[in-house]
Chain A
Amino acid sequence: MKKILTTIVLIAAVVALASAGDKKLVIFSQCNNGEPYRAAQNASFKALWAQDKDVTFQILDAQQDNSRQISQIETAIRLKPSLLIVAPNERGPLSEVMGKAKAAGIPVISLERDIENADNYDTWIMSDNYAIGKLVGQYIVDYLTKKYGEPKGTIVDLHGLLGVEGETKRENGAFDVIKAYPKIVKVGDAVANWMQSNARDRMTEILRTQPQIDIVYGHNDPMAVGAYLAAKALGREKKMIFIGVDGLNGVGGGIEQTKDGILAATFVYPPCTDKAYEIGEKMMNDKSFVPEKQYNVESMMVLPDLAKKIYKAK
């Protein structure tokens, strides 16, 4: 009996540590805290919602698992939050459960990624990955034209998780521009699931087989940095340039890496949190407010000079 009591007291003590009062509840279902871009989103949201004294803000981390994110949202619905923000892990699997939240009368924001059925959210706050891809494509063409006097050269393409909207559009945007120049050839193509460590391994394999590479395009900054580390290990990092997407500010982010010359350029994919906070607050407090179906947050290209100007350690 003593054992049982000890167990229950322990559980109760831990759970009681975090209890919410009678405030409004805002729940953010994050697909994976493990990526730097997501960590930046979380930090930004925490700071933004801390301004509202009558709001309790909770983050649920699905750890890149669709089933877990579905279950977490399912349980979140029972709590009747005043606002639900979801960064869906994938378009298909999360569609149904977000619809259930909306049907339960909870205002639902789809953050950054969309889902299969657009009826299942109130508004989608995003940045246009296709437009970013096109910026990247144009940069690649310009860089190679400057280097060789004509648009020709070799590129390596490092993909994130396949099937995700961001991945597909960053790829299509860039290559819709590049395909007009047949002398620009893709010599390496690998899936590194957004992860620096995976990119390093894939890039090492590519470097072993490709003697000549001009540009490495990582669909996010960590993958571009992973590729840089692979090239550096083989003493080839000065023979090519590395470009990435995300452009997070702060220590270890793409802006810092561009400032330090590791990346030749990063393309800012905004965390969209400012806009989500602005719209979310209106949806919660003003019942007559009807959000637009989609808000587009602008991107930009950051080269080393600009990176030095805008870099902030914190």
Chain B
Amino acid sequence: MFTESLEKGRKVLSNSLTTVAGLRQLAGLALIFIAAIILSPRDRDTMEVIFLSQANLTDIVRQVSENGIIAIGMTFVILTGGIDLSVGSMLALASTFAAKLLMQWPTDGDWTTHIVIIIALTLLMTMSLGAMMGFAISKLKVQPFIITLAGMIGLRGFARFLTDNANIDIGFGKDITASFCGMFSEKAVVMLTFIILALIFYIILSRTVFGLQVRSIGDNPTAARYAGLPVHRTLVLTYALSGLLVGIAGVIHAAQNHQGNPNDGVSYELDAIAAVVIGGTNMAGGKGTIFGTIVGVFILGVITNMFRLKGIDINVEMMCKAVIIVFAVWLQMPRVRK
């Protein structure tokens, strides 16, 4: 009798906490935001709080965009109970592939069409590679960690192979590459891409059948299978989606860095995973939101900015981030004891 009522109480508490979870994450971000305002140095001339200046705030959005776009895909993957370790290498491959095509594929005339085709080819490639990993995970029943670890190694090799280890610099003349960099390194374009993608995938996850399937598979794969959910198709689509989003981040990365660099993107997977878990997504799958992930991305971004404005050593920054990740996850844990 007692255990029954305890269980009932736990459920009520857990459910109510899940509904306010989003708000709680926002409270975490708000607190870090306030800390950043208090600690921000002031402008030498105008005495304005530098952190709050429009230039600085938009800098933050630009700086988190790539990680944000990757983290959206990572959220879907983690929701299915998986993980995608290949995103860093995939980003390097996408940026290198796009830069190589831009430099070496001759064009006469319509640059815009040419650029659109190159981006489409790049995204098609990353999406297919993602789908292949999803297929292997679903059909071969090998753990996602292992398949995407193999992807991480193999894609890095492929990116380096494509350019013979060298970097491809783009956008320094008056050619098509300059036009490409001009378009996609623009701060507003980078920010808008991130925001629009976040909105689209927020809707896909929370309002569509596909979103429900993703969450159901992570929540209870066996039940999902018995309930007749298209588990295989959903997994393939999820990893393809992650590939697509990383491809988009890779194209932006190439434009912003004026370079396709096969050695870039190292440890980007960890940044994305960090943002997802700070955002309250359960690593075992099933529970999590895009909203939470975006909050997680911004928590990391604002902290980084706060430390940089203070000129604090990057090693101290990394140690503090580690503590903050643990704190953030702890804060969001349902406060229920067994």
List residues of A whose CB falls within 8 A of some B CB: 3-4, 7-8, 10-12, 14-20, 27, 56, 58-61, 63, 65-67, 70-72, 74-76, 78-80, 90-93, 95-96, 116-117, 162-163, 191
Q: How far is the CB of A57 from chain B (nearest CB, A)?
A: 9
Say whether B310 contacts A18, CB under 8 Å: yes
Contact of A3 among B41, B310, B316, B331 (CB under 8 A): B331
Number of A-B contacts (CB under 8 A): 126
Residues of A within 8 A of B50 (CB): 78-79
Contact of A75 among B38, B253, B309 (CB under 8 A): B309
Residues of A within 8 A of B66 (CB): 67
B165 at the interface (CB under 8 A from A): yes
List residues of B whose CB falls within 8 A of some A CB: 27-28, 31-32, 34-35, 38-39, 41, 43-45, 50, 53, 55-56, 59, 62-63, 66, 165-167, 169-170, 172, 185, 253, 256-259, 261, 264, 266, 303-316, 320, 323-324, 327, 330-331
Say whether A3 contacts B259, CB under 8 Å: no
9 interchain residue pairs of minimum CB distance? A92-B169, A58-B311, A93-B257, A75-B308, A163-B167, A71-B63, A61-B314, A92-B259, A92-B258
Q: How far is the CB of A193 from chain B (nearest CB, A)?
A: 8
**Cα separation A19 to B315 with both chains bound (whole Å):** 17
Say whether B316 contacts A78, CB under 8 Å: no
Q: How far is the CB of B309 from chain A (nearest CB, A)?
A: 6
For A96, the closest partner residue in chain B by CB is B258
For B50, the closest partner residue in chain A by CB is A78
Residues of A within 8 A of B327 (CB): 3, 7, 10
Say whether A93 contacts B39, CB under 8 Å: no
**Cα separation A22 to B199 with both chains bound (whole Å):** 43
Say whether B31 contacts A75, CB under 8 Å: no
**Cα separation A56 to B257 with both chains bound (whole Å):** 30
Say whether A14 contacts B316, CB under 8 Å: yes
Contact of B324 among A11, A20, A75, A79 (CB under 8 A): A11
A61-B313, A80-B44 given as contacts; is B259 within 8 A of A72 (CB)?
Answer: no
For A63, the closest partner residue in chain B by CB is B314
Residues of B within 8 A of A90 (CB): 167, 259, 261
Contact of A19 among B169, B264, B310, B320 (CB under 8 A): B310
Residues of A within 8 A of B303 (CB): 11
For B38, the closest partner residue in chain A by CB is A12
**Cα separation A66 to B260 with both chains bound (whole Å):** 11
**Cα separation A137 to B330 with both chains bound (whole Å):** 60
Say whether B307 contacts A15, CB under 8 Å: yes
Residues of A within 8 A of B172 (CB): 92, 95, 116-117
Contact of B320 among A8, A14, A27, A93 (CB under 8 A): A14
Say whether B312 contacts A18, CB under 8 Å: yes
**Cα separation A58 to B206 with both chains bound (whole Å):** 45
Residues of A within 8 A of B28 (CB): 4, 7
Could you show 5 A-B contacts with beta carbons less than 8 Å apart? A65-B264, A74-B63, A93-B261, A116-B172, A117-B172
Say whether B59 contacts A96, CB under 8 Å: no
Say whether B45 contacts A80, CB under 8 Å: yes
Q: How far is the CB of A157 from chain B (nearest CB, A)?
A: 15
For A164, the closest partner residue in chain B by CB is B167
Say whether A66 contacts B264, CB under 8 Å: yes
Find the residue from A15, A67, A76, A79 having the highest chain B CB count within 10 A. Answer: A15
Q: How far is the CB of B328 from chain A (nearest CB, A)?
A: 8
Residues of A within 8 A of B170 (CB): 92
Residues of B within 8 A of A59 (CB): 313
Q: How far is the CB of A249 from chain B (nearest CB, A)?
A: 25
A11-B35, A12-B39, A67-B66 given as contacts; is B185 within 8 A of A96 (CB)?
Answer: yes
Residues of A within 8 A of B310 (CB): 15, 18-20
Residues of B within 8 A of A80 (CB): 43-45
A60-B314, A71-B63 given as contacts; is B331 within 8 A of A4 (CB)?
Answer: yes
